Amino acid sequence: QVQLVESGGGLVQPGGSLKLSCAASENIFNFNIMNWFRRTPGKERDFVASINVGGKIEYADSVKGRFTIFRDGIKKTIYLQMNSLKPEDTAVYYCNAMTLSSDYWGQGTQVTVSS
């Protein structure tokens, strides 16, 4: 069973930074694409950022210029570096990994942006 474990969430002030990690139980090149999503209670899940097996990166318009997605050298972990954080970024952040036929999710990590 594929396991994804997020970490790094917490409380930060507006304008601050936070780095999220997603550790996978297998090489991330086994997946076509990995994504970060986020969800606020009572709202739909929103796309944040993605990186595919070839390294192509996409971001939601709301985080462009502030967030960066990248992977480590051993290809077991992806990260989301979040800078210039806003209260609107407050959400549970989820790691997602997709193949052509399967879709896997982590348990989520809470990010709260407040003064």
Q: In 3D, which of 80, 102, 78 has the Cα closest to residue 91? A: 80
pLDDT tens for each residue of 5-55: 999 999 999 999 999 999 999 888 889 999 999 999 888 999 999 999 999
Residue 74: band (very low, low, confident or very high) from pLDDT cuts 50, 70, 90 = confident
| Structure token digits, residue 35 | 């994504």
**Cβ neighbours, 10 Å, residue 76:** 14
Residue 87: strand, helix, or coil: helix
Q: In 3D, which of 91, 23, 31 has the Cα closest to residue 60? A: 91
Name the phi and psi angles at 63, rounded to 5: -120, 0
**High-pLDDT (> 90) share of the chain, %:** 87
pLDDT above 90 for 72? no
Bridge partners (DSSP) listed for residue 98: 33, 103
